[in-house]
Amino acid sequence: MQRNNKKPALITGSTSGIGLSIAHSLARSGHPIMLHGLVDRAEGERLQREFSETYAIDSGFSNADIASESGCQELAADTREALGNPGVLVNNAGIQHTAASHEFPSDAWQKIISVNLSAAFYLAREVLPDMRAAGWGRVVNISSVHGLVASAEKAAYCAAKHGLIGLTKVMALENADCGVTANAVCPGWVETPLIQPQIEAIAREEGIDLDRARAQLVGAKQPMPRTTRPEAIGELVVYLCGEFAETITGASLPVDGGWTAQ
Ligand SMILES: NC(=O)c1ccc[n+]([C@@H]2O[C@H](COP(=O)([O-])OP(=O)(O)OC[C@H]3O[C@@H](n4cnc5c(N)ncnc54)[C@H](O)[C@@H]3O)[C@@H](O)[C@H]2O)c1
């Protein structure tokens, strides 16, 4: 069904939030799409059909759990089977847990480092050899403002997101000779299920409604007191995968309402 020369794109965590928006944007621009996330097979296959019908593209779906190296290998194998080696890898899947460092649970630390950082390394290692051989590839790592600055109670998240930016720079240098770029996108607050628990906690603690709690959460960090639409991240990823971004590599691009300008 492929109607152009756009390479297959694997977007981790694309059954929800930012990843789903990235998948829509890349599909709209003609990329075959490998959907991925922790939903059951029926739900994933429904989403996959919706993508193929709406955008007239080839698509695939995997619900491999990428908290382990073997889960990442499973996802890479599922992708190759459905669409061939991806020319675009978007490492987007991510989780959050908030607690002070001196009380941070070990299992939450391990899981966040595994999903938010190690999975990006394992997946890139799987797909880079074929990108290099093809002389074209795009790796986009969805980091965060928390890859550039810190917030209290986010030890594992900040460590993983800072690490992801370091990994991005290394991959940019190593692949500068063969048409493969690697960049990080660093969103501030984006309205997705990931930030709901933080909004609900403020509402509970302050006895205020969810709208006021959201405004308080966003305004505490961002000069521009509004959340970013997930679609804005999707369109930035399309730009990074397009021909005019061929010399953008090793960059960390904030989309954060001025958060990191302070
Ligand atoms: N929402 C924000 O404000 C914000 C800000 C900055 C960065 N980010 C980053 O953007 C990315 C996407 O976040 P979101 O807000 O869309 O989150 P989300 O909770 O809406 O989606 C997360 C996705 O990751 C998948 N996932 C989680 N754990 C997984 C695992 N072990 N194996 C496989 N898939 C798994 C989920 O199934 C889902 O598809 C994350 O890396 C997050 O850190 C989000």
What CATH number does residue 182 fall under? Answer: 3.40.50.720
* Residue 257 to residue 187: CA distance in whole angstroms: 9
Residues 208 and 123 both lie in one domain: no
pLDDT for 3: 52
- Domain check: are 208 and 179 in the same one? no
Q: Give the number of the atom of ligand 1 that is nearest the alpha carbon of residue 15.
A: 39
| Residue 37 included in any domain | yes
How far apart are alpha carbons 182 and 237 in whole angstroms?
11
Work out which ligand 1 atom sits closest to the CA atom of 37: 37
Do 197 and 117 share a structural domain? no
Same domain, 222 and 238: no
The answer as to whether 259 is a domain residue is no
Q: Which residue's CA lies nearest to atom 23 of ligand 1?
A: 13
Catalytic residues: 157
The burial class, CB within 10 Å (0-12 / 13-18 / 19+), for 181 is: buried
- Asked whether residue 46 falls in the same domain as residue 71, the answer is yes
Give yes or no: residues 223 and 235 share one domain.
Answer: no
**201/161 Cα distance (integer angstroms):** 23
- Do 132 and 21 lie in one domain? The reply is yes
What is residue 194's predicted lDDT score, i.e. its pLDDT? Answer: 84
Task: Say if CB 226 and CB 215 are below 8 A apart.
Answer: no
Q: pLDDT at position 1, please?
A: 53
Domain-embedded: residue 14: yes
Indicate if 15 and 103 belong to the same structural domain: yes
Q: Whose CA is nearest to atom 33 of ligand 1?
A: 65
47 is a domain residue: yes
Same domain, yes or no, for 128 and 99? yes
Q: Report pLDDT for 2.
A: 47
> Has residue 28 been placed in a domain?
yes
Distance, CA 194 to ligand 1 centroid (Å)? 6
Indicate if 142 and 172 belong to the same structural domain: yes
Instruction: Answer yes or no: do 176 and 210 share one domain.
Output: no
How close is the Cα of 20 to the center of ligand 1, in Å? Answer: 10
Range(s) of the domain holding residue 220? 192-227
Length of the chain: 262
- Residue ranges of the alpha helices (H) in 103-209? 106-113, 119-134, 155-174, 196-206
In this structure, the number of other CB atoms found within 10 A of the CB of residue 105 comes to 11
Please state the domain count of the chain. Answer: 2
- pLDDT tens, N- to C-terminus, the chain (262 residues): 545 689 999 999 999 999 999 999 999 999 999 999 999 999 999 999 999 999 999 999 999 999 999 999 999 999 999 999 999 999 999 999 999 999 999 999 999 999 999 999 999 999 999 999 999 999 999 999 999 999 999 999 999 999 999 999 999 999 999 999 999 999 999 989 888 998 999 999 999 999 999 999 999 999 998 999 999 999 999 999 999 999 999 999 999 999 999 9
Q: How far is CA 43 from CA 16, 38, 48, 76, 121, in A?
A: 12, 10, 9, 20, 28
Who lines ligand 1 at CB under 6 A?
Answer: 13, 15-19, 37-38, 65-67, 92-95, 115-116, 142, 144, 187, 189-190, 192-195
In a domain, 260, yes or no: no
Task: State how far the alpha carbon of 172 is from the alpha carbons of 88, 137, 186, 209, in Å.
Answer: 14, 11, 16, 44
Task: Provide the whole-model pTM.
Answer: 0.97
Do 238 and 221 reside in the same domain of the chain?
A: no
